[in-house]
Amino acid sequence: MRDLQGKNAIVTGAASGIGLGIARALAGAGVNIMLADLRPQPLEAARQTVAALGVRAEAVTVDVSDPASVDAAGQAVRDAFGSLHIAVNNAGVAMHGTPIEQVSLEEWAWVMGVNIQGVINGIRTFVPMIRAHGQGGHVVNTGSVSSLFVREGKDQGAYAMTKYAVLALSEALEQETKDAGIGVSVLCPGGVNTAIFDSAATRPERFGGAYRRPSQEAMKTGFAEAALDPLLVGQRVVQAIRDEEFYVLTHTGERDVIGSRLDRIRAAFDRADAIMPSIAGKSGGPTATN
C-alpha cells in the first residue's frame, strides 16, 4: 500500500505507547483512525491528539480478548468510515519478572487472552472487512523482539510464548491473504518507552481485575532512558506498510543472540542428518523429510 492518503485504519491499544505512536504516524500519512482501547479516558485524550493532526479520528472502547467486543469495534469502523484498509492488532500486556512455574492460571488466561486471542479476534473481525472491498490493505500484528528469542534472566517466558504465537499467526495470515492484496507485517520491537510494565493495572475483572506486579514494575528502572520513542516505532510501521515488509525490526542489539538461536536450529538439522539414518535403519522405517 504505497498510497495511504484517505485510507481507514483501526489501531488497538491506541490509548498509549506504541499504539498511539502508530496512530499518530498513520494520521501523519493522511489515514483516518479508529482508536480502540480498554481504557476510555486515555483513549479520548489520544483521539483528540490524533484528530489534531487533521484526519478523521474516532474512538471505541474494546477488550480485544473478547470476540464480541472486537466485533463491535469492527461495526464502529463500518459506521464511522464505511470501510477498513489497515488493521493494527497491537494491544498487549507484559508478563515479565515471573518464572513460568509461578505464573498463575489467571495470569496465563489473561496474557494469552490479550496477546494471542486478541490478535486472533482482530484477524477474524478485521480481515474479512478488508477483503470485502477488494482494494487490498494491510494488517500489522504487534509481536516483539521476544517473538524471535526468549531473553534469559528476565523471567518473561509467558510473554515470549504469546509473542511467538503472534509471529506464527502473522506468517500464516501472510500466506492466506497475499492473493487478496492484503499485506501483513509483524512488528518486533525491542524496548520502547511506554507504560507496558504497568499493564497489570489494566487486567479486566474476568481475569482477576487490576493488581500489582512488583517484580515487573522493578524493570522500569532505567528502562525509559534506554528505550525508543513510540512515535519513531509508528513511523517505522508506516514505512513497513508502504514497503510491504513482513518482519519489522526497530532495534539491532539482539542480532547476535537471535543469530545464535538460528545456528542452534541449523545444528539440530545437521544432527538429524547424522543420526536419523542409523535410527531409521534400526527400526527399519523410512527417514522422515517433513
Ligand X SMILES: NC(=O)c1ccc[n+]([C@@H]2O[C@H](COP(=O)([O-])OP(=O)(O)OC[C@H]3O[C@@H](n4cnc5c(N)ncnc54)[C@H](O)[C@@H]3O)[C@@H](O)[C@H]2O)c1
Task: Give the interface size with ligand X as a residue count (CB under 6 A).
Answer: 29
Q: Provide the CB-side half-sphere exposure for 1 (13 A, CA).
A: 32
Asked if 92 touches ligand X (CB under 6 A), the answer is yes
Enumerate residues 37-76 that contact ligand X by CB under 6 A: 37-39, 62-65
Piece of 12-20, 178-186, 268-276, 277-285 that binds ligand X (CB under 6 A): 12-20
CA distance 121 to 94: 19
In terms of CB distance, is 33 or 38 closer to ligand X?
38
In terms of CB distance, is 59 or 93 closer to ligand X?
93
In terms of CB distance, is 80 or 109 closer to ligand X?
109
Asked if 173 touches ligand X (CB under 6 A), the answer is no
Asked if 240 touches ligand X (CB under 6 A), the answer is no
SS3 category, 9: strand
Enumerate residues 99-118 that contact ligand X by CB under 6 A: 114
SS3 category, 198: helix
Residue closest to 234 by CA, chosen among 5, 96, 50: 50
Asked if 200 touches ligand X (CB under 6 A), the answer is no
**Helix residue spans in 140-206 (DSSP H):** 157-177
**How are beta strands 32-37 and 247-249 bridged, if at all?**
unpaired
In terms of CB distance, is 12 or 125 closer to ligand X?
12
Asked if 154 touches ligand X (CB under 6 A), the answer is no
Asked if 185 touches ligand X (CB under 6 A), the answer is no
- The distance of closest approach from Cβ of residue 202 to ligand X in the complex, given in angstroms and rounded to an integer, is 4
Instruction: Pick one of 32, 199, 216, 235: the residue that binds ligand X (CB under 6 A).
Output: 199
CA dihedral angle for residue 164, residue 88, residue 184, residue 135, rounded to 10 degrees: 160
Phi then psi for residue 211, to 5 deg, are -155, 180
Q: Which residues pair with 32 in a beta bridge?
A: 8
CA distance 213 to 49: 30
Q: Annotated catalytic, 211?
A: no
Asked if 183 touches ligand X (CB under 6 A), the answer is no
SS3 category, 45: helix
Q: Which helix (H) or strand (E) holds 12?
A: strand 8-12
Which residues belong to the active site? Answer: 159
Q: Which residues bind ligand X (CB under 6 A)?
A: 12-13, 15-19, 37-39, 62-65, 90-93, 114, 142, 144, 189, 191-192, 194-196, 199, 202
